[in-house]
Chains A and B, each alone.
Chain A
């Protein structure tokens, strides 16, 4: 079983739409969680960390559900520039392994 699983998409949405991605993780000892963004053929970059109480950064909201072992990312008012692949990342402090999901591709269309 993979450490982190994501729906690969693609999600094709019009500008202005709200879109949500989920990600599940298998290790209940996982301690920290992140969403990264990766543009085509580029390196991943941090979008936001995910805190236990949930957190928001502008149009982006991240949620963590430890009981069900999933995290989510909500993007409101989608922009063309949001088109990218979104990677879910889970870290186990015990082992310091930084595991990535396979990514969810988002295409925002005019």
Chain B
């Protein structure tokens, strides 16, 4: 049972480089989320999607773009990485409905130098 899979698990980028984080879920969930977690800050919502082809901004969207071309995949892009984007990134998915549980991927540890 794969659940939610994030790729890659670790990455070091130089300032100004770009990269894409991939989140894949095999539970046929409608909703998908990207969070970042910094020490003492908890999880902050970057972008989210309520269905294929739709995306919306969360609390901290600046510097990131997302796409949901297929229901099972949610991509997070950094066009020009900055040291402030050094963080642990978590992807989550959940079924439609207000009371459904979110399932998380194992996280991507990104360092921007």
The 0/1 profile, CB within 8 Å of A marked 1, for residues 24-59 of chain B is 000000010101000011111100101000001011
State the CA gap A99–B98 with chains docked (Å).
13
Contact between chains at B48 and A44 (CB < 8 Å): no
Contact between chains at A46 and B101 (CB < 8 Å): yes
A40 to chain B, nearest CB (A): 12
Contact between chains at B105 and A98 (CB < 8 Å): no
State the CA gap A51–B99 with chains docked (Å).
10
Set B40, B48, B94, B98: member contacting A102, Cβ < 8 A:
B40
List chain A residues, Cβ under 8 A from B90. 43-44
In the assembled complex, B104 has its CB within 8 A of some CB on chain A: yes
In the assembled complex, A34 has its CB within 8 A of some CB on chain B: yes
In the assembled complex, B7 has its CB within 8 A of some CB on chain A: no
When C-beta atoms are compared, the residue in chain A nearest to B99 turns out to be A32
B47 to chain A, nearest CB (A): 11
State the CA gap A3–B59 with chains docked (Å).
10
When C-beta atoms are compared, the residue in chain B nearest to A6 turns out to be B42
The 0/1 profile, CB within 8 Å of B marked 1, for residues 1-45 of chain A is 001001010000000000000000000000110100000011111
List chain A residues, Cβ under 8 A from B58. 97
Total interface residues on B, CB under 8 Å, equals 26
The 0/1 profile, CB within 8 Å of A marked 1, for residues 77-113 of chain B is 0000000000010101010001101101111000000
Contact between chains at A98 and B33 (CB < 8 Å): yes
Name, among A31, A89, A98, A101, the residue most crowded by chain B CB atoms within 10 Å (CB to CB). A98
Contact between chains at B45 and A97 (CB < 8 Å): yes
When C-beta atoms are compared, the residue in chain B nearest to A91 turns out to be B98
List chain A residues, Cβ under 8 A from B43. 44, 87, 100
Residues of B within 8 A of A (CB): 31, 33, 35, 40-45, 48, 50, 56, 58-59, 88, 90, 92, 94, 98-99, 101-102, 104-107
Beyond A31-B98, A95-B56, A100-B35, 17 extra complex contacts between A and B, CB < 8 Å:
A32-B98, A43-B104, A44-B43, A44-B90, A46-B102, A49-B99, A89-B102, A93-B98, A96-B31, A97-B48, A98-B45, A98-B94, A99-B59, A100-B43, A100-B44, A102-B40, A103-B42
